[in-house]
Amino acid sequence: MSQNYKIGAGLGGVVLTAGAIAFGAFLSNRHQNRGYDDAANHTKRQPEGYNAQVGRSVTIRKPRAELFAFWSDFANLPQFMENVEAIEAGADGASTWRIKAPAGQAVAVKTEIASKKQDVLIAWRSVEDSEIETSGEVRFEDAPGKRGTRVSLMMAYDPPAGALGRAVAKLFLREPQVQARHDLKRFKMLMETGEIATSARTRDETRAAKQENG
Amino acid sequence: MMRALTWHGTNDVRVDTVSDPEIINPRDAIIKITSTAICGSDLHLYDGVIPGVAPGDVLGHEFMGEVVETGSASDLKKGQRVVVPFTISCGGCFHCKQQQYSACDNSNPAEKQDMSATLYGQPMAALFGYSHLTGGYSGGQAEYARVPFSDVGPIVVPDHLEDDQVLFLSDILPTGWMAAENADIQPDDTVAVWGCGPVGLFAIQSAIVMGASRVIAIDHYPNRLALAKQLGAEIIDFRETDVREALMEMSGGIGVDAVIDAVGMESHGFAIDNMFDVVKQKVGMGADRASALKQAILAVRFGGKVSIPGVYGGMTDKWPLGAMMEKGLQVRGGQTHVQKYTKPLLEKIEDGTLDTTFLISHRLPLEQAAEGYKNFKEQQNEWTKVILKPGMEN
């Protein structure tokens, strides 16, 4: 029972994590073009059983350095990441992400910085003994003309084996994509407007209030 | 708590007591509403044909009033009198910076963007008091409204102008003006306008101000045609006259230079719900419903201009694509970039170039809003435009 529960929570965490964070990320082969056209790998039609990989780009009308600086401080990320409760910094660039899981649970994922290049990219991955195996990368490129910066978020994970794994993968491929998109849109709103749009009429109806009140 | 017109279902809107709006984001302001209008597009909600409307939603996207509360990043001041654009726009994104305000990237909450992104390829911006497709923001047919991005949208109006003179800066006046602008009117042009509702009438007035040599208005309600005539248009009643034949004769066999479809899906019920119902479209229901626009495309001359302020949401079939291509037409549409037009149009109201009051037929207290909807829908000839006044005595 306790073992199953743990697995369940872990898998739920994967699902939520994916989008939320956009974290995770990123298969080492991201830049190895798998086809002959110029499209990003995560937009390719994926054969059954291929590692789950989601990605999304947005264009944000702000300078690359400003966006990179904001993202570099992981403590900022929960502001726009729906399912991340908190990110605590540890030693040597390691951090612990607290991810919301179903039924009011939370899952902790320990990550380390895999790669970081000033104003260009930040990549992270779960540490070896982590419950969830995942990796992520956010990349910043100048957009054409005065359009600002193109921000691309990639994340990947290795689906656990077996039927359960496939079920989770199926879930993962639907929800995380949506979460990644929403999180990136909120990041864009925060950077371009200083706030995150809500159509709530009262403070009690906001996303944040609902999350706090369960 | 406040009073507000809320949606409950088809042909069922009621004035209810609901929670007061609050400042949530730094750029918000709270407006105490003094005047708000019922728009033709509100009738789609009333008819129950718009998806994503929930019971209890506060309707209304044409409103103005007094600033009573401001967020820390608003540049409005308490006591200022403002008109609020129906489009919610951040002012800082790629589209807003090009004055394409109705395409704002940031006003529709992230979690509400998916449906319109699926339908149109990219998500829509937010609008007040409409479907959750466009954000699901509480509208202005109420005593108070929360206005996001209040440093970009609302325009402060001088005290010597009455509400009736400036209220329509919120939607229909800029919409009519942009419709005429999209028709790229040249001095010798003959312009034909389908639909003499508020937007059509303002498009006619704008086309004349822009120097069209001749404007021809098409409708079937005598009272609405009379308003068009009063503005200086020639009129055609499509129940009495073969419109294409008449337009060919009136343009000396050339065809009219520009056409404006101010009917849209509204009068024929070609509704946004069709976008979910491909089958329905394929059996031809969509075909009749874009009839004004099809007629316009055949009536316009080769190399002519087609402007579409009328609202469409889905798809249609039996489209005269051949005519559109072979005739080399320029076609423009879109929700109105209201913030782009409020200032120049306020100036034109102040100097008397534009009159906005001629089409107002009724003024009612907010408490009688449901009656206003019913009559605006059922008695279109007489009820041309309804203004609701929250402060007015019953």
| Per-residue pLDDT tens over the stretch B254-270 | 999 999 999 876 544 33
> Chain A closest CA to B365's CA: distance in Å?
23
Q: Is A201 in Cβ contact with B19 (below 8 Å)?
A: yes
Averaged pLDDT score across all residues of chain A: 74
pLDDT digit string, tens, across residues B76-120: 999 999 999 999 999 999 999 999 999 999 999 999 999 889 888
> Chain B closest CA to A97's CA: distance in Å?
22
Pairwise pLDDT comparison (A129 vs B257), residue with the higher score = B257
User: Domain for residue A163, yes or no?
Assistant: yes
Instruction: Give the lowest-confidence range in A173-182, B273-282, B344-353.
Output: B273-282
Domain holding A16, by residue range, is 2-25+50-212
Q: What is the pLDDT of residue A45?
A: 67
Cα–Cα distance list, B1 to A127, A183, B303, B343 (Å): 52, 34, 56, 33
Q: What is the pLDDT of residue A54?
A: 65
β-pairing, B256-261 with B234-237?
unpaired
Q: Is A197 in Cβ contact with B107 (below 8 Å)?
A: yes
Averaged pLDDT score across all residues of chain B: 92
Q: Is B136 in Cβ contact with A193 (below 8 Å)?
A: no
The span from the first CA to the last CA of chain A, in angstroms, equals 26
User: Domain for residue A73, yes or no?
Assistant: yes
Say yes or no: A174 contacts chain B, CB-CB below 8 A.
no
β-pairing, B81-84 with B87-88?
unpaired
Cα–Cα distance list, B330 to B19, B259, B337, B362 (Å): 47, 10, 19, 38
Q: What is the pLDDT of residue A212?
A: 57
User: Domain for residue A34, yes or no?
Assistant: no
Task: Please tell me which residue of chain B has the smallest CA distance to A145.
Answer: B94
User: Domain for residue A20, yes or no?
Assistant: yes
Task: Name the amino acid, one letter, at B108.
Answer: N
Q: Which range, A145-159, A194-208, B3-17, has the best average confidence (pLDDT)?
A: B3-17
Q: Is A186 in Cβ contact with B24 (below 8 Å)?
A: no
Task: Name the amino acid, one letter, at B261.
Answer: D
**pLDDT, average across residues A35-63:** 73
CA distance B372 to B389: 12
Q: Is A197 in Cβ contact with B94 (below 8 Å)?
A: no
Query: Is A72 buried (19+), middle (13-18) or exposed (0-12) by CB count in 10 A?
Result: middle
Q: Is B21 in Cβ contact with A182 (below 8 Å)?
A: no
Q: How confident is the model at residue B33 (pLDDT cuts 50, 70, 90)?
A: very high
Name the domain count of chain A: 1
pLDDT above 90: residue B185 = yes
Pairwise pLDDT comparison (A52 vs A67), residue with the higher score = A67
pLDDT digit string, tens, across residues B350-362: 999 999 999 999 9
Q: Is B138 in Cβ contact with A61 (below 8 Å)?
A: no
For chains A and B, CB pairs below 8 A equal: 82
Domains of chain B by start residue, with CATH? 2-171+337-389 (3.90.180.10), 173-333 (3.40.50.720)
Tokens of A90: 């540890």
**pLDDT, average across residues A109-113:** 88
CA distance B169 to B340: 11
> Chain A closest CA to B376's CA: distance in Å?
28
**pLDDT, average across residues B181-203:** 96
Give the start-end residues of each E strand in B165-298.
190-194, 214-219, 234-237, 256-261
Q: Measured between CB atoms, which of A193, A199, A203 is closest to B106? A: A193
β-pairing, B126-127 with B12-18?
unpaired
Give the CATH number, domain containing residue A98.
Answer: 3.30.530.20
Q: How confident is the model at residue B394 (pLDDT cuts 50, 70, 90)?
A: confident
ipTM: 0.90
Q: Measured between CB atoms, which of A147, A148, A192 is closest to B90? A: A192
Could you give the 3-state DSSP secondary structure of residue A205?
Answer: helix
pLDDT digit string, tens, across residues B302-322: 999 999 998 887 777 778 999
Task: Please tell me which residue of chain B has the smallest CA distance to A195.
Answer: B25
Q: Is B148 in Cβ contact with A197 (below 8 Å)?
A: yes
User: Domain for residue A35, yes or no?
Assistant: no
